[in-house]
Amino acid sequence: MTRAISLHDVSKSYTRGTRVVDRLTLDIAPGEFLVLLGPSGCGKSTVLRMIAGLEDIDEGDLLLDGEFANDLPPSGRDIAMVFQNFALYPSMTSRDNIGFPLRIETPGADPRPRVDATARMLGIEELLDRFPAQLSGGERQRVAMGRAIARHPSAFLMDEPLSNLDAKLRNHLRAEISALTRELGVTTVYVTHDQAEAMSLGDRVAVLRGGVLQQVGSPREVYALPRNVFVAAFIGTPRINLLQGLVRAPLDGAMTISLGKQYLRLPEPLSLDHQLLRVQQGREVIVGLRSEAVRIAKPSAARPGEMPLTGLVEHVEFQGHENLVHFNTGSRPAVVPDLEAPRPAARPARRRRRDGGPGVLDRLRQRADALRAGPVVVLDEPLDDAPVTPPDGRLPGDLIVRTTPDLQLRHGMHVPLLVDLAHLFVFDQHGERISPAPARLPDLEE
């Protein structure tokens, strides 16, 4: 039997009242594989421990199959947890480690049949008589998974179970976990900071930052239509290109987005999303372009919806199956400050009213700010008196483009580029996506 897990406005605080989880609402369907994704310290492991009953919930409700479970002890939740550090008893063999929870739950029953069946499922029959010290990291993790599977729980909670393994073994066990959980049909909540794991494993991905849920959706949805600039930057390899832009929408001319020394002319007739950008006239925005949205080609080879740019080759990364080419287009990069930090950077205090209290708009902004990904800082001025440009006068690369490995490019070459504006993201200065319009969903059948 599998179960539904629901979190309604759940919060958790530790020292000094800092909320590590802030009003989290999340519904997990029976049999679903949900991945909690975010940088280290964002609260995802705390969420897992609250579901397991290892941490108390300060505010909000936890429902298991629709029943209130905040005060239910861990032993009464029928949930198995797989930890990052394996947590095996060193004095017990693999057989005893797998069978230990079975002996606790049903003291008079013989655990061997279920232990043997679990070992066959995981392919570890020959490891049953070995101690943890005699096992490799991957073998220990299989035994730890076996201990959870043998219980036949209604839900699995996995806290970064592969982070201590090498890359090759991690990829192999990732495929095994995916196959096993789908075969068993058990609700699974998986915590990771590795977006590659999240994208390959999850039915849905929930992105956290600073204890606040940023977005939840299928892997394809959060990649193709990120809700804000933090989600866009955190998901995707290589990281999305973020550039400072300025919208120009004259009544008697073409609408463009200035990127410093160059500009993108929006094709006419304007799409609905691009028409909505008119309200940003004269405002600074953040332009997001994934590496696959730009290709190397002459303007004469442009397809409908593609617009030209020119780039100066700064660096070429050979990846074997592809190259990642770093271009300088004369644009000013924008970054999400502290992207890998646990909590968003604090914003400067807003101006208060003369009577000393915050105004109505200030209070509304403060409430909205709590749910945002944090401000976007445009690298426009020197930081700590450092020069914006290197001593030779060249700007650093601001655009990364995928190419085939046979394309020969050298440092300093001027290369024509074509940008597919159908894959253009535009964010405001608070990091919220404004194009494509928030209400629009991508056609995932294409």
* Claim to verify: residue 259 and residue 121 sit in the same structural domain: no
Is residue 147 helix, strand or coil?
A: helix
Based on the structure, what is the number of domains in the chain?
A: 2
Q: Tens digits of per-residue pLDDT, 297-332?
A: 999 999 999 999 999 999 999 988 999 999 999 998
* Claim to verify: residue 66 and residue 208 sit in the same structural domain: yes
* Claim to verify: residue 94 and residue 142 sit in the same structural domain: yes
Domain assignment of residue 442, yes or no? no
Q: In the predicted model, is pLDDT for residue 338 greater than 90?
A: no
Answer for the pair 69, 62: CB distance below 8 angstroms, yes or no: yes
Domain membership of residue 222 as a residue range: 5-227
- Burial state string for 31-42 with b = 16 or more CB within 10 A and e = fewer than 16: bbbbbbbbbebb
Give the chain's mean pLDDT.
84
Q: Tens digits of per-residue pLDDT, 139-150?
A: 888 898 888 888
Of the three residues 178, 196, 227, the one that is the final residue of a domain is: 227
- HEC string of 168-181 equals HHHHHHHHHHHHHH
Q: What is the CATH number of the domain that holds 41?
A: 3.40.50.300
* Claim to verify: residue 136 and residue 234 sit in the same structural domain: no
Report which listed range, 12-16, 109-113, 310-314, is most confident: 310-314
Domain assignment of residue 168, yes or no? yes
* Claim to verify: residue 143 and residue 249 sit in the same structural domain: no
Q: pTM above the 0.85 mark?
A: no
* Claim to verify: residue 263 and residue 197 sit in the same structural domain: no
Please tell me the distance from the alpha carbon of residue 57 to that of residue 68, in angstroms, as a whole number.
12
Of the three residues 227, 246, 274, the one that is the final residue of a domain is: 227
For residue 374, the Cα-to-chain-centroid distance in whole angstroms is: 15
Reported confidence tier of residue 424, pLDDT bands at 50, 70, 90: very high
Coarse DSSP helix, strand, coil percentages of the chain, rounded to the nearest 5 percent: 25, 30, 45
Domain assignment of residue 369, yes or no? no
* Claim to verify: residue 45 and residue 103 sit in the same structural domain: yes
Q: Tens digits of per-residue pLDDT, 393-404?
A: 444 578 999 999
Domain assignment of residue 89, yes or no? yes
* Claim to verify: residue 217 and residue 242 sit in the same structural domain: no
* Claim to verify: residue 288 and residue 430 sit in the same structural domain: yes
* Claim to verify: residue 221 and residue 245 sit in the same structural domain: no
List the single range of 92-96, 133-137, 167-171, 207-211 with lowest mean pLDDT: 167-171
Of the three residues 227, 250, 277, the one that is the final residue of a domain is: 227
Domain assignment of residue 440, yes or no? no
* Claim to verify: residue 259 and residue 198 sit in the same structural domain: no
* Claim to verify: residue 277 and residue 419 sit in the same structural domain: yes
Query: Of 166, 176, 182, which is closest to residue 146 (Cα–Cα)?
Result: 176
Domain assignment of residue 165, yes or no? yes
Q: What is the CATH number of the domain that holds 290?
A: 2.40.50.140
Domain assignment of residue 357, yes or no? no
Give me the pLDDT at residue 62, please.
96
Domain assignment of residue 444, yes or no? no
